[in-house]
Structure 1
Amino acid sequence: MKACLALLGVAMVARLALSLGTDVYFDTAYYWQWARHLAWGYYDHPPMVAWLIAALGLRGTALLCGAGTVAAVWGLARDVYGNREVAWRAAALWSVVPAGVVAGVWATPDSPLLLFWTLALWALWRERWVWAGLACGLALLSKYPAVLLGLVFLATAARARRLPWGAWLTGALALLCFVPVVLWNARHEWVGFLFQLRHGFGGRGGWASFGQYLAGQLALGGPVLFPVALVYAVRGPREQFLLRMAAAVPLLFFGYAAARTPGEANWPAAAYVAACVGVAGMRPVWQRAVAVSGLAVVLAVGSHVFFPVLRVEQRDTVLWRTHGWSVLRELATPERLFPGLEARNVAAIYAPDYQLASQVAYYAGAVTHTGPPARFSQYDLWPPPALTPGQEVLWVMEEGGPGPPDELTDRFTAMSDAVELVSGYQGRPLHRFWVWRLWGLKH
């Protein structure tokens, strides 16, 4: 019990330190932009993360969802085993799963998905069909892969040769919650559904991308938890078949997707919720191995974030993602960068990708938009900034990116030379941005 509380305490401190001691993550800034334009859907995901950010803020969303998921894992494990001590072990194990830590630090669609996925599993285990339907519906409003909960339950029902009538109510409530997202997609040419299908199955995969998937699971799932989760899925207790399927289905589904297209390591993160509950009932040696290996990954990466010792020849991805973005605050006062410019005349700031455009919006408080070669994103579903004679725009890019595109320069008669913005952390150079001023808007 004391070891579990110590593990929970260390994990909580690590999450708070990472949340308060790093810059806003670029994907999180993108979802913050969504929160400024609330809707029933977005190009990439359903709307839950945007709603929560609008209500709780960036850090509040991640931290509260993270804490709520730990509490829900505790409740699920208590009911599975009928033992509070095992429940504390499960909660402690989940608290150090790297994927869960990340979702509890930076607000992404995984943050609410993991919370409502766990609540749905808990309600399904107890056969509380109304609560299960609401939790499944909220999970669907968080991220499309929540549909895998249906496969998990159907596999369990098929194994038991039993489909309770209450399960139909669960399905009806979940679909009812999801109807507004379907209607939003219908009004926008099904962009959300089509993007996810292309993103998950439309690329070129193979053994290389599948190997990257396995490596990602060893990192974000845990070097011990990932293989143990597979063993639990195959050889776990018969009475825990629901949880075993909740571990197996996401891992197998996204493993198949990884063989078709390069994926993201966090995609099957929900599988590790059930895996932690399963490990909590195993021999202590496995519990210790999972806890120590997971905590080691979290502390190793976390210590590098604040006290980098290793030297990376190319880009240090960990530091690049977590520090140095705040230099974009300089764009809030563009007259300091371009003498003679009147800040009130700057109508918008353009960038070549949605992540940078969102970071500029967050740190500079500016109207932003994307331009070529940016891939299609939510920005393309929003109307572009309206420009009038006398107004100017800025183009910002990171080193190595393209200069202002012809689609933008052709609209203006004059363009300045590039101004450089440089940021670093603890003596390590991280970001080098270039900014252009364009004025003389053509009629």
Structure 2
Amino acid sequence: MLDVRRSRLAFLALFAAVLLAKLLVAARLPLFVDEAFYWQEGQHLAAAYSDLPGLTAWLARLGVEVGGGGLLGLRWPFLLMAAAVPLLMVVLAKREFGAAVGWQAGSLALLLPLSGTLGLLALPDVALALATVLCVDAGTRLLRRAEAGAAFELALGLGIGALTHYRFVAVIGVGFVALLLLPEGRRALRSAWTWAAITCGATAWMPLVVWNLANADAGLRFQLVDRHPWAFHADGLWFVAIQALLATPLLLAAMLTASRRGAAASRPAVRYLAWSGGLLVLGFFLLGFVADNERVSFHWPLPGYLALLPLVPATLAAWSPTLRRLAWGLAGLGFAAVLGYYASVSVPAFRARSADTKWYPENFAGWDVLARVVQEELATLPAGTRLLADNFKIGAELGYVMGDPAIPVLDHPLNHHHGRAPQLRLWGLHRDAQYAPGDGSTLLVVAATDVPYRQLLERYHALCGMVGPLPAARVVNVDHGRRRFLLFRLQGRGAGPCTAPGLAWLDTPEAGAVIGRHVDLKGWAFKDGVGLSRVEVLLDGRPVGDVEYGLRDTGVAAYWKISTDPSHPQVGLGGNIDLGAVAPGRHWLGLRLHGRDGSVEDWAEQPVHVR
């Protein structure tokens, strides 16, 4: 009884603390790109969309309609659904394994980083987790007796999952297999109540089926074909390693142990949970070796973990007290680390300091600065100036800030890479390769850093093909240029050869190099269409002198084969620059490119350490 009381108090205290912490972080965490697009989908209500079924967009619309347009207004439905997951975990585990285990399983659901941080972002994973727990709980109830209450819960879980994500098919398939493996499960599958629930769940897929039939299976093809290489790649090893970190090593070991032992247990509920969770985790681990390794996928195994958590307290009870405490402690540290990461992302200074690292939160950063500058530009342009976005990310993020879900978007590889191009076309917002801005004023917003650097010149030429030669741009460098936006004022479609923004590179000093106050620079820069007249050197955004420009460098044109800068091959730069009385320590070195057309562009900066 003491153990039950202690476990209950621990869960309640943890539940309150986690919920409060998530509310505080969610109120400040910058909008994630996908959240912005789900908001945009919610402003164009439909039964289904090109990337997902409709539920996430509907929840986003509900959030802002009830809670207003702020971050918490968008996210509160997801925070509420996320809070239901550990509560349902308590209900499931208490019924099957007793009160103490129930409260402990609920605490584990709060501390498991992937489930504990659910709801911070308005993403489909929240509803997918809730649907998984509902279905797993209903499955354990059906093993006891197939009756109306269990069937209703199963129908609810199947319906939520079907309206959330294509990936829920894995939960359905594994759950069905787990029932087939058990005599009690096969008995449940002979019940009319069970099939009534399955029928209701199947009906929930109809909006997605209808959408795909009407759109040449574009959504299904993207989810199952276009986004996956379906060829072996060793990145699957990284996928497994990342899972060990995100689930925390000892908790992951406990879940896998519970799955292995539970598969041979005598109790039907234990075997059902072990088979369901184990097969899901194993399946997603194997999928990591052949499936999409470019987009985020670390959250995929979460449904399997949720199915296994009710078994974990018994596994931990068999460990030594020291190892058990270590497992709980590591889980707590893991949750705190992930929550702390999101909290850090909310701080502009952290984002700026991390600009030169691979951990830079690119999809969270720069949108507030960009929106402010765009509004400044629009205020100085003629009334009726149209806004045109380079890709769906810009269109959605600016749309959210400006309350405009109908910003047109140019054709861009990212639109196709993320399966958003078909949806943009259905809304009439996708502007294809021969788009003409028209006779009026247009502000084109381009994200230079949304394209790999080696493909950037090609993208500039593609923009010229769509809108004509590009005028001088207003450059918006965020976090030392790690996020780089270009704003072009277009007056109709210009004529003539492509004029593009400049490109530059410093060969020396390299990023992170230790330098003195007198530093030798070597590199290159060019600007297609017109060329450059001079190049300044910047330190922490302040000019410290001109570098010699026009040195011969034949390798630049050989690499950038389509470049039309008339100065080739005289596009090299070099010389010795006196940085002045700069304090020792970390500084940011950059270039300012002066075009012969009068344009001035600050290039992205790189960190150096001054002795």
TM-score, normalising length: structure 1: 0.88
Q: Does 1:40 align with 2:47?
A: yes
Compared with structure 1, are the counterparts of its residues 416 and 110 closer, same or farther at alpha carbon in structure 2 (3 Å cutoff)?
same
1:118 is matched with 133
Compared with structure 1, are the counterparts of its residues 220 and 85 closer, same or farther at alpha carbon in structure 2 (3 Å cutoff)?
same
| Residues 416 and 437 in structure 1, CA contact (< 8 A), matched pair in contact too | yes
Compared with structure 1, are the counterparts of its residues 327 and 293 closer, same or farther at alpha carbon in structure 2 (3 Å cutoff)?
same
For 1:415 and 1:154, the matched residues in 2 are separated by 57
Q: 2:100 is matched with which residue: 71, 85, 95? A: 85
1:331 CA displacement: 4.7
For 2:24 and 2:327, the matched residues in 1 are separated by 23
Counterpart AA for 1:33: Q
For 2:228 and 2:477, the matched residues in 1 are separated by 38
Q: 2:411 is matched with which residue: 352, 371, 378? A: 371
| Residues 45 and 143 in structure 1, CA contact (< 8 A), matched pair in contact too | yes
Compared with structure 1, are the counterparts of its residues 365 and 328 closer, same or farther at alpha carbon in structure 2 (3 Å cutoff)?
farther
1:250 is matched with 280
Compared with structure 1, are the counterparts of its residues 7 and 398 closer, same or farther at alpha carbon in structure 2 (3 Å cutoff)?
farther
1:8 CA displacement: 2.4
2:484 is matched with 432
Deviation string, structure 1 residues 285-316 (Cα, Å, up to 9, x no partner): 56644432222123224335437599758335
Q: Does 1:205 align with 2:232?
A: yes
Compared with structure 1, are the counterparts of its residues 15 and 45 closer, same or farther at alpha carbon in structure 2 (3 Å cutoff)?
same
For 1:259 and 1:12, the matched residues in 2 are separated by 35
Q: 1:70 is matched with which residue: 86, 91, 97? A: 86
Structure 2 counterpart SS, 1:317? coil
Deviation string, structure 1 residues 160-189 (Cα, Å, up to 9, x no partner): 232332322222111111122111111111
Compared with structure 1, are the counterparts of its residues 235 and 311 closer, same or farther at alpha carbon in structure 2 (3 Å cutoff)?
farther
2:223 is matched with 196
- After TM superposition, the structure 1 stretch with the greater mean CA deviation from structure 2, 92-101 or 301-310, is 301-310
1:369 CA displacement: 1.5
| Residues 395 and 437 in structure 1, CA contact (< 8 A), matched pair in contact too | no
* Percent identity between the two aligned chains: 23
Compared with structure 1, are the counterparts of its residues 280 and 368 closer, same or farther at alpha carbon in structure 2 (3 Å cutoff)?
farther
For 1:102 and 1:56, the matched residues in 2 are separated by 19
- After TM superposition, the structure 1 stretch with the greater mean CA deviation from structure 2, 14-23 or 279-288, is 279-288
1:358 is matched with 396
| Residues 134 and 156 in structure 2, CA contact (< 8 A), matched pair in contact too | no
| Residues 382 and 441 in structure 2, CA contact (< 8 A), matched pair in contact too | no
For 1:309 and 1:327, the matched residues in 2 are separated by 13
Q: 2:248 is matched with which residue: 209, 222, 227? A: 222
For 1:167 and 1:300, the matched residues in 2 are separated by 42
1:87 CA displacement: 1.8
For 2:492 and 2:444, the matched residues in 1 are separated by 12
- After TM superposition, the structure 1 stretch with the greater mean CA deviation from structure 2, 432-441 or 89-98, is 432-441
1:317 is matched with 359
For 2:351 and 2:463, the matched residues in 1 are separated by 42
1:73 CA displacement: 1.4
Structure 2 counterpart SS, 1:282? helix
1:344 CA displacement: 2.5
Q: Does 1:153 align with 2:203?
A: no
1:61 CA displacement: 2.6
For 2:49 and 2:212, the matched residues in 1 are separated by 8
Deviation string, structure 1 residues 198-228 (Cα, Å, up to 9, x no partner): 256434432x221121022123333222232
| Residues 280 and 287 in structure 1, CA contact (< 8 A), matched pair in contact too | no
1:113 CA displacement: 0.6
In our comparison, the structure showing a higher alpha carbon Rg is 2
For 2:13 and 2:282, the matched residues in 1 are separated by 33
Compared with structure 1, are the counterparts of its residues 155 and 399 closer, same or farther at alpha carbon in structure 2 (3 Å cutoff)?
closer
2:544 is matched with none
| Residues 258 and 315 in structure 2, CA contact (< 8 A), matched pair in contact too | no
Aligned length: 434
Q: Does 1:349 align with 2:388?
A: yes
1:323 CA displacement: 4.3
Deviation string, structure 1 residues 6-56 (Cα, Å, up to 9, x no partner): 332332233223211210111211211111122222222211111111112
For 1:356 and 1:292, the matched residues in 2 are separated by 41
1:259 CA displacement: 1.4
For 1:365 and 1:332, the matched residues in 2 are separated by 13
1:343 CA displacement: 5.1
Counterpart AA for 2:283: F
Counterpart AA for 1:298: F
Compared with structure 1, are the counterparts of its residues 51 and 400 closer, same or farther at alpha carbon in structure 2 (3 Å cutoff)?
closer
For 1:41 and 1:392, the matched residues in 2 are separated by 32
Q: Does 1:138 align with 2:160?
A: yes
2:553 is matched with none
2:194 is matched with 167
- Aligned-residue CA RMSD in angstroms? 2.9
Structure 2 unaligned runs (5+)? 1-6, 65-73, 143-149, 432-436, 496-611
- After TM superposition, the structure 1 stretch with the greater mean CA deviation from structure 2, 184-193 or 395-404, is 395-404
Structure 2 counterpart SS, 1:56? helix
Compared with structure 1, are the counterparts of its residues 203 and 364 closer, same or farther at alpha carbon in structure 2 (3 Å cutoff)?
farther
- After TM superposition, the structure 1 stretch with the greater mean CA deviation from structure 2, 56-65 or 280-289, is 280-289
Higher helix content, 1 or 2: 1
